[in-house]
Amino acid sequence: MQRLLTRLLATSSIGLLNLCCPAQAGPIQTLLGLPEWVDFSVDYTTEPMGGLLGGENPSAATWFQQTVVGLTIGSGLGKDTSNWREIDHWQVNLELTNAAGDPDLATELGSFFNPQTVVNPVGTWITQASVSRNQGDGWWSAQAGLMSIGPQFLTAPALDNYTNATLNNTLNVAIPGVPINPFVAPGITVAAHSSSLGDLRYGYYNLDSETAIAASLGVDPGQPDVRGSVQVLEWSLNPLAHRKELLAPIEGRDGTTVARQLPAPLLQLGGMLSNTAWPGSAGTELGEGLNRIVYGTITWPVTLPIGIDNRLWLAGNLGLDPAKNPVPSFAAGGWLSQGVLPNRPDDVLALGITRNSFSPTLNPGLTYEGVIELNYSINISEVVQVQPLMQWLINPSGSGTVPGSWIGGVQVNLNL
């Protein structure tokens, strides 16, 4: 049963970089000559990674990749939002994700969590089928259909700069059955938006058909049927919205203007309530019943003698039911710096660290697992990004018996 729990947690620790919503239209849109009310895109990500030192198998190496095909249809696409009529707010969103490769790097290294963002059971997944109302210049938005919790909840844009699954993630919430991409469930979200008070968002997800949807295109989802529901309430605010320069392009060292790559300031507070039931004895082992989580993030601009723009961020969640939550606490922080190298103003250097605890009931004898990641994102063009990286896995498996592990790799992303 612990092997099943580990597999479920590994799947639920999938990140959100280009995973949770239809990818933005790229050059394939022009190539196909599609009308402006259609956005079609293909996003390809690959993450070859391997051990360098330590761990159960220091020579372990894997290649994993995913392809995300997104389609968005709406009359408001390509129009200025100030000219929208009501029909222009509405869109249809469809997305398929294909995962391929060897998903066993964490197992070979002895790590509880995946070093790679994109690892999930191989095959093709339905990762969105929804109708949404965009805010535009108005005050409310909504979405209904088959959806994951992210990116609407438990996500901060600063974390999209990392590759380890515990960093690039929905704050590493790991309750089995919660619909974290690529899992989706029937759901509905509504949000109210205010320029001064921030955004308040509520979501409800029904889990009864989640496993069946995951397996509908032939994937082995790696989890038994789950029953229940998940509710999330989140408030977010840009506390420095009056500082318009933090959203504007940056004047580089040579006087030229470069695009700002780092996210806007952000404060988030939220809570999640899940109520799950699992068949047979799986329920006791996986932590069925009520699980309550509170969470928050902060992203803040800082002035440093390095780079042309910098951010510090903190994030965490706390489970109020540790006997039923496999990972009842998560804490993380990091630093982002744009333009560290004089001739590379669009590149981003990222440093991040996390610490994850384990349930004394569901995972007796395990204490914590952590990671430190250092990476450098090279923006070759709007189509191609390359991110070499190194990670130090701290106390892999949480048991204290597996040596810490150095691993290296690269993420390559193509936005077509």
Examine the pLDDT at 18 and tell me if it is beyond 80: no
Task: With beta carbons less than 8 A apart as the criterion, state whether 325 and 341 touch.
Answer: no
Neighbours of 239 (CB within 10 A): 14
Peptide bond into 182 cis (omega under 30): yes
User: What is the per-residue pLDDT across 340-390, written as a single tens digit (0 to 9) for each?
Assistant: 998 899 999 999 999 999 999 999 999 999 999 999 999 998 899 999 999
CA distance linking residue 169 with residue 160, whole number of Å: 8
User: What is the per-residue pLDDT across 262-275, written as a single tens digit (0 to 9) for each?
Assistant: 999 999 999 999 99
Using a pLDDT cut of 70, give the percent of the chain over it.
Answer: 93
User: What is the per-residue pLDDT across 287-297, written as a single tens digit (0 to 9) for each?
Assistant: 889 999 999 99
User: What is the per-residue pLDDT across 99-129, written as a single tens digit (0 to 9) for each?
Assistant: 999 999 999 999 999 999 999 999 999 999 9
Closest CA to 144 of 181, 179, 187: 187
Task: With beta carbons less than 8 A apart as the criterion, state whether 132 and 170 touch.
Answer: no
Task: With beta carbons less than 8 A apart as the criterion, state whether 90 and 131 touch.
Answer: yes
Could you tell me the CA-to-CA distances from 148 to 16, 211, 290, 381 in Å, in that order? Answer: 10, 13, 20, 29
Closest CA to 117 of 70, 43, 66: 66
State the average pLDDT over residues 167-192: 94
Question: 71: which strand partners?
Answer: 40, 94
Task: With beta carbons less than 8 A apart as the criterion, state whether 390 and 49 touch.
Answer: no
Closest CA to 171 of 350, 277, 4, 12: 12
Neighbours of 398 (CB within 10 A): 22
User: What is the per-residue pLDDT across 276-332, written as a single tens digit (0 to 9) for each?
Assistant: 998 877 777 888 899 999 999 999 999 999 999 999 999 999 999 999 999 999 999
Note the pTM of the prediction, 2 decimals.
0.91
pLDDT grade for 416, boundaries at 50, 70 and 90: confident
